[in-house]
């Protein structure tokens, strides 16, 4: 696997955080990766990046499955990034569900 992310793509960060923010059920790694549209190796690096910054947490739920959760800090970051993209590029660049 490649090393740590040096210059994160904010579109990728926004897609992952937005997917967690708008989900209707818990998501594991593969479900979040598919829903956010990022290839798995890149997704794994971004997930570690987001965890290290306290934007997401991983937990084991009752049935033993893994769940990725958005933290309050992650929600604030998602709103900030979405607003910045919208302000700079217009509404067409940020999907709101």
The residue extents of the domains of the chain are: 10-89
Residue 97: pLDDT band (50, 70, 90) is very low
Point out which residues pair with 56 in neighbouring strands: 70
CATH number of 10-89: 1.10.10.10
CA-nearest of 92, 64, 68, 59 to 19 is 68
pLDDT tens digits for range 4-50? 787 888 889 988 999 998 887 788 899 999 988 889 999 999 999 99
Residue 95: pLDDT band (50, 70, 90) is low
* CA 58/CA 66 separation, integer angstroms: 7
Burial class (CB in 10 A: 0-12, 13-18, 19+), 25: exposed
């Amino acid at each position: 696997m490649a090393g740590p992310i040096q210059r994160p793509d904010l579109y990728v960060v926004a897609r992952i955080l937005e997917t967690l923010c708008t989900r209707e059920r818990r998501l594991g790694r593969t479900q979040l990766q598919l829903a956010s549209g990022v290839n798995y190796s890149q997704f794994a690096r971004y997930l570690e990046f987001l965890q290290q910054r306290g934007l997401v947490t991983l937990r084991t739920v009752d049935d033993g499955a893994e769940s990725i959760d958005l933290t309050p800090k992650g929600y604030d970051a998602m709103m900030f990034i979405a607003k910045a993209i919208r302000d700079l590029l217009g509404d067409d660049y940020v999907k709101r569900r």
